[in-house]
Amino acid sequence: MQPAIFRSFFSALIAAAISLLAPPVRAHEPKPETLAAFDHYRDKTEARMDSDLLAGHFLYIDQFPGPRRHEIDAQLRRNEFFLEQLHTLDDGHHIHVPGGIIHHWIGIAFLPGVTLAQTKSVLEDYAHEKENYFPDVRQSRLLSQNGNDSEVFLQFYSKTMVTAVFNVNFASRTTNYSPTRTQIRSCSTRVADVENFATPNEHELPPADSRGYLWKLCTWWHIEEKDRGTYIQVEAVELSRTVPFAFAWIVNPIIRNVPKTFLSHLLGATQKAVAKKSAALANSRDSASGSVTQFSQAAASTTGSS
């Protein structure tokens, strides 16, 4: 088959797959057993994090042997990300999710010369996430806050083969383990597909009409200040629908790659937002210091002339 013809054939096949997938995914929402399996997977994942913490492994890479840990550190200090797909097991066995796919990824970056407080101020600035994480986040607002617990609304935008927009409510909790270690856990409490995005007729689809690209999402940020900078680690567990077997070989690789791309964008946007905010604070301090110096010089000059 000629390359050009093959590309046309492949494009047509993908388009056909999407058109065939469209009808069944409308009028579809996760079954109770699908959600129960996701909750079980999430609980087992959190149990692993608790076990790691007891073993002194706050960051995922802390458990690696020295040479591998140093290799990853060098990678992070070259301003590259560490990204890896994970699989939580139950007593060594795969956790079956009927009617759904779990996507589990972790990403780590290093921010040189940045403090934990500066990083937290960006990650918890929910009102400005639409600016810090554009174009992946189109709307953001803090709905309520009670101590370290927050209710947050985000509108996610994703464009791969199709454009998908979701309105998501999150329950978020910040846990400060020490002055240099913090975790921010956010899990979705409501996910709604958005139809006719950015038009006067934009509206949410009812749960029964969900396309199933995103049913559930949990993220865990681990922030640690050390080595003259701050490590940021985000672990994400997402639940989406399965696809008919005949088209799984086309669609599943694309669906599975979205969380990895999402984490990469998330880490990069966080780096930029923290750097921007830190620079603004430094400039503000310099301006204030300059004003005080000028005032002192003026005062001294006035005193001397008198």
| pLDDT (tens digit per residue) in 201-237 | 999 999 888 888 889 999 999 999 999 999 999 999 9
150 pLDDT above the threshold of 50: yes
Least confident of 5-19, 35-49, 258-272: 5-19
Least confident of 31-35, 252-256, 295-299: 295-299
Closest CA to 153 of 141, 136, 166: 141
CA angle 176, 179, 182 (to 5 degrees): 35
What is the share, in percent, of the chain residues with pLDDT greater than 70? 78
Kindly report the number of other CB atoms within 10 A of residue 304's CB atom. Answer: 7
Assigned token pair, 172: 């978020």
Q: What is the pLDDT of residue 304?
A: 52
Q: What is the pLDDT of residue 290?
A: 59
Q: What is the pLDDT of residue 250?
A: 54
CA-to-CA separations, 277 to 135, 270, 273, in angstroms, rounded? 19, 10, 6
DSSP-derived letter for residue 281 is H
Strand ranges (E), the chain: 82-85, 89-90, 93-94, 100-112, 137-146, 149-159, 163-178, 181-195, 203-204, 216-225, 229-241
Q: What is the pLDDT of residue 257?
A: 64
- CB burial of 242-254 (b: ≥16 within 10 Å; e: otherwise) equals bbeeebeebbeee
Q: What is the pLDDT of residue 13?
A: 40
Confidence at 130, pLDDT banded by 50, 70, 90: very high
Which residues lie below 8 Å from residue 63, measured CB to CB, with a gap of 6+? 52, 55, 57
Assigned token pair, 189: 């409490």
Q: What is the pLDDT of residue 25?
A: 43
136 pLDDT above the threshold of 50: yes
Q: What would the pLDDT profile of 165-182 be if each residue is shown by its tens digit?
A: 999 999 999 999 999 999
Confidence at 279, pLDDT banded by 50, 70, 90: confident
Q: What mean pLDDT is predicted for residues 102-125?
A: 95
Confidence at 277, pLDDT banded by 50, 70, 90: confident
Question: CA 40, CA 12: separation in Å to the nearest integer?
Answer: 39
Assigned token pair, 82: 């560490």
9 pLDDT above the threshold of 80: no
Q: What would the pLDDT profile of 13-62 be if each residue is shown by its tens digit?
A: 444 444 444 444 444 789 999 999 999 999 999 999 999 999 999 999 99
What is the share, in percent, of the chain residues with pLDDT greater than 90? 65
State which H helix or E strand residue 290 sits in. helix 245-305
CA angle 241, 165, 251 (to 5 degrees): 40
